[in-house]
Amino acid sequence: MFPRWQDLTPRRARNPQVAPSSWSRFMEVVRVEGLGKTYPGGTKALEGVSFSIERGQIFCLLGRNGAGKTTLLRILATQLKPTAGRAFVLGHDVLQDPKAIRPHIAVVPQEARPQMMLSPYDHILYFCLIRGRSRADARERTRKVMDDLGLWEHRDKLASDLSGGLRQRLIIAMALVADPEVLFLDEPTIGLDPLGRRSVWHMLRELTRKGATILLTTHYLDEAEMLADDLLIVDKGRTAFLGTVEAAKGDTGVGMRVIVEPPAGNGTGPPEVLEPRSAEEVLAIVERGLREKRKVTFKPASLEEAFIKIVGGSIEVEDT
């Protein structure tokens, strides 16, 4: 048992200007304890998952296909009931008080599709209106979010005439336009080109600076590395890792690699791949490279390498 909400000072003051709201400024916006979900027939999608997310954080949920990521996100978005444990969003129990949560959240599901016979402008404007905004405010918000996501020039086209990437941007814009306090995103940048992905990243950062809290699932580990304040890696429905990106690398022993090419003019033998553990070892490798006229390349540790070490094994086909 734990309290409905808890005030605390953030572990990392990345957003010192976070805007206050009707909730406590630095409370745990999401709290999960011992969460489980077993589907009819006995399939366990989640088992004993616990974590918390603070206001203004971007929290990334990672895992292989079938690990339970989408199930967890849907429970927190009040779309699916857990079978064990408890979960709170903005101080409200997802089982006991879902109606108090829904006005303050927005969800971008992985399978979301626009209405093909509506324009992007109408999609976003109508969504903003049904969230209770005035018509003037809705028009202003619609223009801004379309500008930010590069949709304004496509405002009058039918959704059926948009590319897959533009449709994905439209779905994201619909979620962002009402300035939700908590945003749940399931693979939000899938299908976007590099510029489109970076536009979304920028908007997510802007939202957190205003006080929003974001939970997203992604298979793009560079995206998680760029955005995550904290991350949870789930494997077969259980917690495999919980912490920061740097902690994931450190806990798995993933460090910087140094690639030393063969000496110039001495054939094409395989390069040496070294993992120095100290500054002295790095210096010694560089000095040897200079002395032997060998090219030395530094490869920083990556979250992808840490992820593979944490979950290992083969990739499943379907997500739950």
- pLDDT at 294 exceeding the cut of 60: yes
Q: What is the dihedral of CA 62, 64, 70, 76, to 10 degrees?
A: -40
Structure tokens of 203? 């908007």
Same-domain status, 192 and 276: no
Mean pLDDT of 93-107: 94
Going by the DSSP 8-state scheme, the letter that residue 103 receives in this structure is G
Distance CA 132, CA 103 (A): 9
| Inside any domain, residue 240 | yes
The yes-or-no verdict on residue 314 having pLDDT over 50 is no
Q: How confident is the model at residue 265 (pLDDT cuts 50, 70, 90)?
A: low
Q: Which range marks the domain in which residue 107 is found?
A: 28-250
Give pTM, 2 decimals.
Answer: 0.75
Say yes or no: 74 and 206 in one domain.
yes
Domain assignment of residue 157, yes or no:
yes
Domain co-membership, 233 together with 271? no
User: What does the buried/exposed string (b/e) look like for 113-148 if buried means 16 or more CB atoms within 10 Å of the residue's CB?
Assistant: ebeeebbbbbbbbebbbebebeeeebbebbeebbeb
**In what order do the strands lie in the sheet containing 28-38?**
44-54, 28-38, 84-89, 92-93
* Residues 217 and 282 placed together within one structural domain of the fold: no
Q: Which tens digits make up the pLDDT trace of 244-261?
A: 988 888 766 566 677 888
Same domain for 92 and 106: yes
Residues 266 and 199 in one domain: no
- 135 and 245, same domain (yes or no): yes
Higher-confidence residue: 257 or 216?
216
Residues 34 and 119 reside in one and the same domain: yes
Domain count, the chain: 2
Instruction: Kindly state whether residue 6 falls inside one of the protein's structural domains.
Output: no
pLDDT greater at residue 132 or residue 140? 140
Confidence of residue 3 (pLDDT cuts 50, 70, 90): very low
For the segment 58-99, what is each residue's pLDDT rounded down to a tens digit?
A: 999 999 988 899 999 999 999 999 999 999 999 999 999 999
Whether residues 279 and 198 share a domain: the answer is no
Q: Are residues 53 and 157 in the same domain?
A: yes
Average pLDDT over residues 26-50: 92
Strand bridging mode 58-63 / 44-54:
unpaired
Are the C-beta atoms of residues 106 and 176 closer than 8 Å to each other?
Answer: yes
pLDDT tens readout for residues 172-206: 899 888 888 999 999 988 878 888 888 888 888 88
Indicate the residue among 233, 250, 267 that finishes a domain: 250
pLDDT greater than 90 at residue 10: no
| Shared domain check, 261 and 157 | no
Q: Are residues 240 and 273 in the same domain?
A: no
Using an 8 Å Cβ cutoff, are 160 and 117 in contact?
yes
Q: Please list the residues that pair with 175 across neighbouring strands.
A: none
Check if the beta carbon of residue 121 is closer than 8 Å to that of residue 77: no
